[in-house]
Amino acid sequence: MYWRKSMEVPILSKRLMKIATYIPKSPILADIGSDHAYLPCYICLKDKEAKAIAGEVRIGPYERAVQTVRNYQLENKVEIRLGNGLEIISEKDQVCTVTIAGMGASLIEKILNEGKNKLKTVSRVILQPNTNSEKIREWVDNETYRIIDEAIIEENGQFYEIIVANKVDNCKNSLSIKERLFGPILLEQKSDVFKRKWERERHKLTTVLNNVKNAKEPDANKIQQLRRKLDLIEEVLSK
Ligand code: SAM
């Protein structure tokens, strides 16, 4: 089972637990794509001052979220709203923190782009794409947010990256290609989990490169692209 109900709070997965550590105290949180609403319920049970809105676009997960809120008697603290992405919040909610987790990077990017005008009051975004974190760092770098922390965790054989960004006055485009790919803070830390992730990625890309090279009509652009990425990975792993 994904979680079990304890006496007081839901037991979160390692991934959601890590995300929870980045949510500021006494927040008004919007968790977009909340599914069971475990994260907002956990936060509101742990932090008596916290309030949360959980957004869901699908009816099944929306109903599951409503049920979790009922189970924990959090109706006055966690509001479940049915709708697409950030459209479920408005300026009067005064949301300060947005979490979007457990989805592909393209979907997270789409939600952020479509809901940009809903981010006026949002001083922190915590984003956890399941794939292609590079795309999310690129989004942050092109907007008025700056990465202040990152984490990489391994759970059930999967690697997850968490990107924490705070609002800044001006967009600076300060990340290098390497930092966008690996994460500026993850690159500094080079944890064992980080190394394992990139060793796996190197192995995967080497196989892809060999397949592309051995194709009847090898795609020169693709080969160059893969070679460049592999060179970067090798450089980072060798230091
Ligand atoms: N955030 C939770 C987590 O990290 O464990 C749940 C992740 S679950 C895999 C993704 C959820 O996002 C699904 O329940 C899905 O219905 C919801 N979702 C997908 N696109 C969405 C959108 N545009 N707006 C709101 N929710 C969305």
Question: Is 150 near ligand 1, meaning CB less than 6 Å away?
Answer: no
Question: Is 97 near ligand 1, meaning CB less than 6 Å away?
Answer: no
Q: Model confidence at 4, in pLDDT bands (50, 70, 90)? A: very low
Whether pLDDT at 52 is above 80:
yes
Q: What is the mean pLDDT of residues 47-57?
A: 97
Q: Ligand 1 center to residue 186 CA distance, Å? A: 25
9 compared with 207, residue with greater pLDDT: 207
Question: Is 101 near ligand 1, meaning CB less than 6 Å away?
Answer: yes
Q: Where are the alpha helices (DSSP H) in 75-167?
A: 105-114, 133-142
Q: Where are the alpha helices (DSSP H) in 52-191?
A: 59-71, 105-114, 133-142, 177-182, 184-189
Q: What is the mean pLDDT of residues 55-63?
A: 98
Question: Is 55 near ligand 1, meaning CB less than 6 Å away?
Answer: yes
Q: Ligand 1 center to residue 132 CA distance, Å? A: 17
Judged by phi (left if over 0) then psi (alpha if -120 to 50, else beta), residue 183 lies in left
| pLDDT of res. 179 | 97
The pTM of this model reads 0.95
The phi and psi torsions of 44 (rounded to 5 degrees) equal -70, -25
5-14, 35-44, 80-89, 126-135: the lowest-pLDDT one: 5-14
